[in-house]
């Protein structure tokens, strides 16, 4: 396993370049079921620790706290191995003022069974409440030792910088959607992270499975989360074919899978770590192995070029198309929006 430069964090723990995202732990929308929540997730966490994965990301909103509980129980089952775990969670900022931030952090720590949160993140920028009202709570949490590093998620660059100023200390990380399927979202953030020794945490680094190469226009995903993702519209699956072809070509040269090459591309930048989920032990093993793949400059450039040429249907057109697919799947004619 590879790790980010240790100087970026206040923690004594290392942050692995490949982490484990746990949105699927206990969240009904992923449809993994009770067996996974009860035993499968714990096996994934245990194997991740064995493979040198240290970064574990969750949030209070995932399964309405259930993800935190499942992760906490899995870590508690092997305290020696979990000693190096760098645990990150997030507050959903409905009212992210100082006292609320403090209370929610205490609640998350309780669910996780921890006395210290290595990274506490604001899950979304609140359009009505600026970070000047939020960061005093983060400062208080750091002062009492409940929180180590502070992070944000889904923040544009200007707001990340504003949060930095409001905290009066480095806001270590910004967790954003970043992958070959959506690379343009990260350029300015990467420049800032490199200049200021910060971290960009890439969620959905596999485009929720698009970059695995398992899906095409005739074989679309059926799960709730993926079925409403515009990337899996038939038109976008066709448009993704050239990108997937390059992924497969590079993967063949490394004896790897397209998913592993997609992860290797994401973490190629020194300031990027990726937090793919895992449906089982085999997948977490595959994800961890991606950290050992070193792309050549030519391979990285070819993948980036193919990514830049991928122009999925987005915005209002994508919303309309997803709505139409959903209604047609329910047997409702799209033109009227009513049952025939």
pLDDT digits (tens, 9 = 90+) for 103-156: 999 999 999 999 999 999 999 999 999 999 999 999 999 999 999 999 999 999
Given a cut of 80, is residue 215 above it in pLDDT?
no
Q: What is the pLDDT, as a whole number, of residue 188?
A: 92
Given a cut of 90, is residue 303 above it in pLDDT?
yes
Query: Per-residue pLDDT averaged across 325-339, rounded?
Result: 45
- What is the pLDDT confidence band of residue 331, given thresholds at 50, 70 and 90? very low
Q: What is the pLDDT, as a whole number, of residue 292?
A: 97
In the numeric block, which tokens belong to residue 322? 């997803």
Average pLDDT across the chain, whole number:
88
Given a cut of 90, is residue 165 above it in pLDDT?
yes
Q: Which CATH class is domain 6-209+255-295?
A: alpha beta
Q: What is the pLDDT, as a whole number, of residue 323?
A: 43
Contact 134, 97 (CB under 8 A): yes
Q: What is the pLDDT, as a whole number, of residue 324?
A: 46
Contact 27, 277 (CB under 8 A): no
Share of the chain above pLDDT 70, in %: 88
Q: Which residues, other chains included, contact 184 with Cβ-Cβ below 8 Å and sequence gap of 6+?
A: 308
Q: Dihedral of CA 266/33/57/122: which sign?
A: positive
Each residue's pLDDT tens digit, 49-92: 999 999 999 999 999 899 999 999 999 998 988 899 999 999 99
Query: Per-residue pLDDT averaged across 8-15, rounded?
Result: 86
Q: What is the pLDDT, as a whole number, of residue 152?
A: 98
Q: What is the pLDDT, as a whole number, of residue 30?
A: 60
As a whole number of angstroms, the distance between CA 139 and CA 131 comes to: 12
Backbone angles phi, psi at 314, to 5 degrees: -140, 180
Q: What is the pLDDT, as a whole number, of residue 145?
A: 97
Alpha helices in the chain (DSSP H): 33-35, 41-50, 66-76, 79-82, 98-112, 131-143, 157-167, 187-196, 224-227, 234-239, 241-254, 258-266, 281-289, 297-309, 315-329
Q: What is the pLDDT, as a whole number, of residue 157?
A: 96
As a whole number of angstroms, the distance between CA 160 and CA 167 comes to: 11
Q: What is the pLDDT, as a whole number, of residue 33?
A: 64
Lowest mean pLDDT among 4-13, 142-151, 286-295: 4-13
Q: What is the pLDDT, as a whole number, of residue 29?
A: 67
Query: Per-residue pLDDT averaged across 182-189, rounded?
Result: 77
How far from chain centre, in Å, is Cα 132?
26
Backbone angles phi, psi at 31, to 5 degrees: 70, 25
Residues taking part in catalysis: 62
Lowest mean pLDDT among 37-51, 150-164, 211-225, 259-273: 211-225
As a whole number of angstroms, the distance between CA 96 and CA 131 comes to: 8
Q: What is the pLDDT, as a whole number, of residue 216?
A: 73
Q: Which residues, other chains included, contact 127 with Cβ-Cβ below 8 Å and sequence gap of 6+?
A: none
Query: Per-residue pLDDT averaged across 283-309, rounded?
Result: 97
């Amino acid at each position: 396993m590879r790790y980010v430069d240790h100087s970026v964090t206040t923690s004594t723990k290392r942050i692995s370049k490949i982490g484990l995202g746990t949105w699927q732990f206990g969240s009904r929308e992923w449809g993994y079921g009770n067996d996974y929540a009860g035993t499968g997730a714990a096996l994934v966490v245990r194997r991740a620790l064995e493979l040198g994965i240290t970064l574990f990301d969750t949030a209070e909103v995932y399964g309405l706290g259930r993800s935190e509980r499942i992760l906490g129980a899995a870590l508690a089952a092997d305290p020696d191995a979990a000693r190096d775990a760098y645990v990150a969670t997030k507050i959903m900022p409905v009212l992210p003022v100082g006292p609320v931030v403090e209370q929610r952090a205490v609640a998350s720590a309780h669910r996780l069974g921890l006395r210290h949160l290595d990274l506490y993140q604001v899950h979304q920028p609140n359009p009505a409440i600026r970070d000047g009202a939020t960061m005093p709570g983060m400062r208080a949490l750091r002062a009492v030792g409940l929180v180590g590093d502070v992070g944000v998620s889904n923040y544009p660059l200007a707001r990340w910088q504003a949060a930095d100023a409001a905290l009066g200390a480095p806001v270590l990380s910004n967790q954003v959607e970043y992958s070959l399927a959506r690379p343009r979202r990260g350029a300015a953030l990467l420049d800032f992270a490199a200049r200021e020794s910060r971290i960009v945490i890439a969620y959905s680094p596999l485009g929720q499975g698009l970059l695995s190469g398992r899906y095409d226009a005739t074989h679309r995903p059926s799960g709730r989360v993926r079925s409403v993702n515009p990337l899996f519209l038939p038109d976008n699956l066709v448009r993704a074919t050239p990108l997937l072809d390059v992924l497969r070509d590079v993967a063949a040269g490394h004896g790897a899978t397209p998913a592993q090459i997609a992860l290797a591309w994401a973490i190629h930048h020194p300031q990027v770590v990726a937090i793919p989920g895992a449906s089982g032990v085999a997948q977490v093993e595959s994800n961890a192995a991606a950290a050992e793949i070193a792309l050549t400059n030519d391979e990285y450039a070819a993948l980036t070029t193919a990514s830049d040429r991928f122009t999925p249907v987005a915005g209002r057109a994508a919303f309309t198309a997803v709505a139409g697919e959903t209604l047609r799947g329910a047997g409702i004619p799209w033109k009227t929006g009513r049952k025939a």
